[in-house]
Copies of this chain bind each other. A is one copy, B any other.
Amino acid sequence: MKRIKLTLSYDGTEYNGWQIQTKPFGVKTIQGTLEDRLRRLTGEEIKVVAAGRTDAGVHALGQVVHFDTGSSIPVDRYPMALEGLLPQDIVPLKAELVDDTFHARYSAKGKTYQYTMDQGVSPHVFWRRFAYHYPFPLNLDAMKEAAKLLIGTHDFTSFCASGSSVKDFTRTITSCLLWQEGQFLHFQVSGNGFLYNMVRIMGGTLLEVGRGKIGPRQITDIIKAKSRNAAGPTLPPQGLCLMKVDY
């Protein structure tokens, strides 16, 4: 048996998220599709573990998974072989041999997500699957000021979807950037871990800052409140993308 680390990208539009669901029957997931193709390729029942279990409609340009296999297929052949078997909206990028202490999720030291808003009067037709169309004016300077206050080690309860089963809401955000690129506004955040819906709630809160509904310095109070109600809305999934996982 050997353990393989696989980096992959996907357009999440047509999928019900990363994780295999048993009910309802027949729901299409990234994990299910990938495991099916690995079964066809190796003849084995393979279970893959992902660094981040992306939600329905969320994309990845640098998702990382690991799996164990007894197959003799050379490791560097996996991307090409899988690309031929997978649908066009899942593209494997790189396969590496790792030792069996490597775990895609638990070994991850940090992750980077990006959220893209389309600020064009009309949505850019190439980006309709990958950006949230928000054609209203935003105060980018205020948003940048607010984004800086998210950096650091905080209890992020206010930025976690209610009903989450985690016990410890403390996470460290190492970088939080906003920039304009043509008609698009990108929000990129890196940290050692993310709570459920955390990036989409951060994005929704920064949007409220950009609209002038929340003052940029209120971010500190929102963090202190430790209440989901204190933060802004959860942005829709299609603007979100898992960019990178660091080990």
Query: Which residues of A approach B to under 8 Å, CB–CB?
Result: 9-11, 59, 61, 79, 83, 88-93, 121-126, 128-130
Query: In the complex, are the beta carbons of B11 and A122 less than 8 A apart?
Result: no
Q: Which residue of B lies closest to A129 (CB)?
A: B126
Instruction: Tell me which of B93, B123, B124, B126 contacts A122 (CB under 8 A).
Output: B93
Contact of A59 among B10, B90, B91, B126 (CB under 8 A): B126
The DSSP consensus for interface residues of chain A is mixed
Residue of B nearest to A89 (CB): B125
Q: How many of these chains are in the complex?
A: 2
Q: Could you jot down 16 A-B contacts, CB within 8 Å?
A: A9-B122, A9-B124, A10-B125, A11-B126, A11-B128, A59-B125, A59-B126, A79-B122, A88-B125, A88-B128, A91-B122, A91-B124, A91-B125, A91-B128, A93-B121, A126-B129
Return the contact of A130 from the options B61, B88, B126 (Cβ within 8 A): B126
Q: List 13 extra interface pairs beyond A59-B126, A93-B122, CB under 8 A.
A: A9-B125, A10-B125, A11-B125, A11-B126, A59-B125, A61-B126, A88-B128, A89-B125, A90-B125, A91-B122, A91-B123, A91-B125, A93-B121
Docked complex Cα distance between A126 and B59 (Å): 9
Chain B residues whose C-beta falls within 8 Å of the C-beta of A89 in the assembled complex: 125, 128
In the complex, what distance in Å separates the CA atom of A127 from the CA atom of B92? 15
Taking a contact as CB atoms under 8 Å apart, the answer to whether A125 and B61 are in contact is yes
Residues on the B chain within 8 Å of A128, using CB: 11, 88-89, 91
